[in-house]
Amino acid sequence: MTTPSTLAPGNLRRVHHIALNVKDMQASRHFYSHILGLHELTGDEIPSTLLDLVAQGKVANFVTPDGTVLDLFWEPELTPPDPDPERSFTRAYHLAFDIDPQLFDRAVEVLKDNQIAIAHGPVSRPTGRGVYCYDPDGFMVEIRCDPV
């Protein structure tokens, strides 16, 4: 019996993009750009394959500081999240962003100032501190930092 083929460690180089379906594109764009401070791709920054969808308001693209692209796909018929947000997503638990430990408290303050629902935290662990909140579609987002 032959062993199935596999990719070698290091063949996958990095996460290319993360795609999320969103019900309210404007609320989601506001959350990811104005609350979390991600850069929204515009003009020549938009991948040519997505230009038409972006122009139609069906897609918005953001880039994280490490270069990972976050694509939001407008799905106006998206069912509302479960009233218990812990049950909303059965396969993906959360999206985590790293922040400088010196800015962690400021991030928590920004979430509270903008009345963003906080699911857990802030919490302190041996691995650092974290706060979990929800985006406009009920997807959990973590802002975390390494221990000081």
Question: Residue 26 and residue 111: Cα distance in Å, rounded?
Answer: 18
24 closest CA partner among 138, 126, 143: 138
96 closest CA partner among 78, 114, 119: 119
Q: Residues 72, 29: contact at Cβ < 8 Å?
A: yes
What per-residue confidence (pLDDT) applies to 106?
A: 94
Residue position matching structure tokens 């691995």: 127
- Summarize pLDDT for 71-94 with one digit per residue, the tens: 999 998 887 766 776 666 556 778
Find the Cα–Cα–Cα–Cα dihedral 25, 30, 36, 42, rounded to 10°: 80
The amino acid sitting at 53 is: L
Low-confidence ranges of the chain (pLDDT < 50): none
What per-residue confidence (pLDDT) applies to 122?
A: 95
